[in-house]
Amino acid sequence: MKVGLIRCLQTEDMCPATTCFKVMNLKKLAFAGIKEDIEVFGVNTCGGCPGKKAVTRSAEMVRRGADTIVLASCITKGNPIGFACPHAAQMKAAIEREVGETIRMIDYTH
């Protein structure tokens, strides 16, 4: 699995994505049951509210070889402060439209 990780720009100040990388390395939570090796191809933010840049940034990671776009839990679950992105569903749908059905999407990390 070649992962392109999208995270919340607002969360960058308080989170270095430690747990996102840990669960990928250990194949836990969102990555439980993944048989293949997990390689992070790129990490980028949504670009800031309302997250439109997540779409083009995801497409660029796919162009560079990612086969899976992962939305970090800061977006969909609001980790680490319990404040989820109000645009998460729209962001996910727009990314899916842009990158197409052959690209796997995972909508949380932990």
User: Which residues sit at the interface with ligand SF4, rule CB under 6 A?
Assistant: 8-10, 46, 48-51, 75, 85, 87
Determine the residue type at 100: G
| Contact present, 41 and 61 (Cβ < 8 Å) | yes
Place of tokens 């439109």: 52
Q: In whole angstroms, how close is the CB of 108 to ligand SF4 at the nearest point? A: 13
4 or 51: CB nearest ligand SF4: 51
Q: In whole angstroms, how close is the CB of 94 to ligand SF4 at the nearest point? A: 11
8 or 40: CB nearest ligand SF4: 8
Q: In whole angstroms, how close is the CB of 50 to ligand SF4 at the nearest point? A: 5
Taking the CA atoms of the chain, what radius of gyration do you get in angstroms? Answer: 13
| Contact present, 58 and 45 (Cβ < 8 Å) | no
Residue 105: φ, ψ to 5°:
-120, 135
Q: In whole angstroms, how close is the CB of 101 to ligand SF4 at the nearest point? A: 23
How many whole angstroms separate alpha carbon 56 and alpha carbon 59? Answer: 5
1 or 9: CB nearest ligand SF4: 9
